[in-house]
Amino acid sequence: MSDIETLQTELIAGIDSADTLEALEAVRVSALGKQGSVSALLKTMGGMSPEERQTQGPIINGLRESISLALAAKKAELETAELNRRLATERVDMTLPAPDAPRGTIHPVSQVMDELAEIFADMGFAVAEGPEIEDDWHNFTALNIPETHPARAMHDTFYFPDDMARDGQKMVLRTHTSPVQIRTMTSQEPPIRIIAPGRVYRSDSDATHTPMFHQIEGLVIDKGIHLGHLKWTLETFLKAYFEREDVVLRLRPSYFPFTEPSVEVDVGYSVINGKRVIGGAEDWMEVLGSGMVHRKVIEACGLDPDVWQGFAFGTGVDRLAMLKYGMDDLRAFFDGDNRWLQHYGFDALDVPTLSGGVGA
């Protein structure tokens, strides 16, 4: 056997017995590296006579070729084996343990809206909705709000540009939930008993005002409705909402364009450990606007005010939440701070029911 054949046999045996990629690399370097045995043979070709090169050249090149092929084949084999080994032993565990308790919470605004819906459902009220992008007629005109009313002032109302007018109506972000009164009366036959919770918008921002906030509207239209019905309804609602029997109301004459007469409703509170607690009548705070629906509003909706009467009320949902659950900065409601939500949020399974106490 020639030296070259011996070398080839040795190298092939080395390649065959390499059982790791590192061992195989060592064989490659020993053969084809700068100081490698095959590289050394290739270098000898430079000093050969042309005849010698003709016979030895193909043999040496053949050696290099066969060693390269054997190395590549063995490398592929080892890589496949390595991959198979990893596939067999490594696993991605997709069954991550569940957290101890559900992390998300129900926002106090959602919770209070659910509580209100529950309380009013018990009194026979349905929930109604209207668009947040409202036209001037529903938001103002039909509610008997004249051009000069402060709610129309540029600094209060978010108006859309004139070229976004619809049917000749300027569009606004609704400034209150009262337009849902109009939408309900124009689309539904009386008797009507609805509440309409939702987002409203005003260009105003400080500790007690945010440009977007939440209101709830109430509307009853029927025959022979009077202020007594209004007072009973609000009293029943506030007692259920604050979960106290000693809630005392005070009705004060007021002015809203869409009600006549109009009343502002105060609720009595006591100061306990420096905090206002609803109940008793140590002092008063305003919680609601309300009144008997104005004849002009009933007429604007195509109903005969000599046949149909009713009352309406409106209040801030965020404010009701603050009064019941003790937050003092409205802006935090909309910061999305997880710590605040963990502290003030409600368990998703805590569905408000009247029997269980709506805020339980």
Residue 152-181 contact track with ligand DAH, rule CB under 6 A, x = bound:
------------------------x-x---
Compute the least distance from the CB of residue 227 to ligand DAH, in Å.
12
How many CB atoms lie under 10 A from the CB of residue 352?
20
310 is an interface residue for ligand DAH by CB under 6 A: no
DSSP character at residue 168: T
Compute the least distance from the CB of residue 354 to ligand DAH, in Å.
24
Contacts (CB under 6 A) with ligand DAH, residues 215-274 = 217, 256, 259
Nearer to ligand DAH, 176 or 319 (CB): 176
Sequence length of the chain is 360
Nearer to ligand DAH, 41 or 312 (CB): 312
Compute the least distance from the CB of residue 116 to ligand DAH, in Å.
14
Contacts of 26 (CB under 8 A, 6+ apart): 18
Looking from the CA of 29 toward its CB, the CA atoms found within 13 Å total 6
Compute the least distance from the CB of residue 243 to ligand DAH, in Å.
24
Structure tokens at 347: 């368990």
Contacts (CB under 6 A) with ligand DAH, residues 68-97 = none
Span near ligand DAH by CB under 6 A; candidates 87-95, 286-294, 301-309, 345-353:
286-294
How far is Cα 241 from Cα 59, in angstroms, rounded to an integer? 99
From 224, 218, 181, 179, select the one nearest 201 (Cα to Cα). Answer: 179
Nearer to ligand DAH, 120 or 256 (CB): 256
Q: What Cα–Cα distance (Å) separates residue 274 from each residue in 250, 270, 271, 284?
A: 23, 9, 6, 15
290 is an interface residue for ligand DAH by CB under 6 A: yes
**Of the candidate residues 120, 201, 237, 313, the single one contacting ligand DAH (CB under 6 A):** 313
Alpha helices per DSSP H over 150-259:
179-187, 227-242
205, 211, 215, 217 alpha-carbon torsion, rounded to 10°: 120
CB 278 within 8 A of CB 269: yes
Span near ligand DAH by CB under 6 A; candidates 20-28, 115-123, 204-212, 307-315:
307-315
Question: For ligand DAH, which residue has the nearest CB?
Answer: 314
112 is an interface residue for ligand DAH by CB under 6 A: no
Sign of CA dihedral 160, 163, 166, 168: positive
Contacts of 9 (CB under 8 A, 6+ apart): 1
Nearer to ligand DAH, 125 or 313 (CB): 313
CB 324 within 8 A of CB 318: no
Nearer to ligand DAH, 213 or 346 (CB): 213
Nearer to ligand DAH, 108 or 314 (CB): 314
Nearer to ligand DAH, 122 or 286 (CB): 286
Residue 199-218 contact track with ligand DAH, rule CB under 6 A, x = bound:
------------------x-
Long-range contacts, 153-156 (Cβ 8 Å, 24+) = 155/203, 156/202, 156/203, 156/204
Span near ligand DAH by CB under 6 A; candidates 66-74, 236-244, 289-297, 322-330:
289-297
Nearer to ligand DAH, 8 or 177 (CB): 177
289 is an interface residue for ligand DAH by CB under 6 A: yes
Quickly list DSSP for 302-351: T--TTT-EEEEEEEEHHHHHHHHH----GGGGGS--HHHHHHH-B-TT--
Q: Which residues bind ligand DAH (CB under 6 A)?
A: 176, 178, 217, 256, 259, 289-291, 312-314
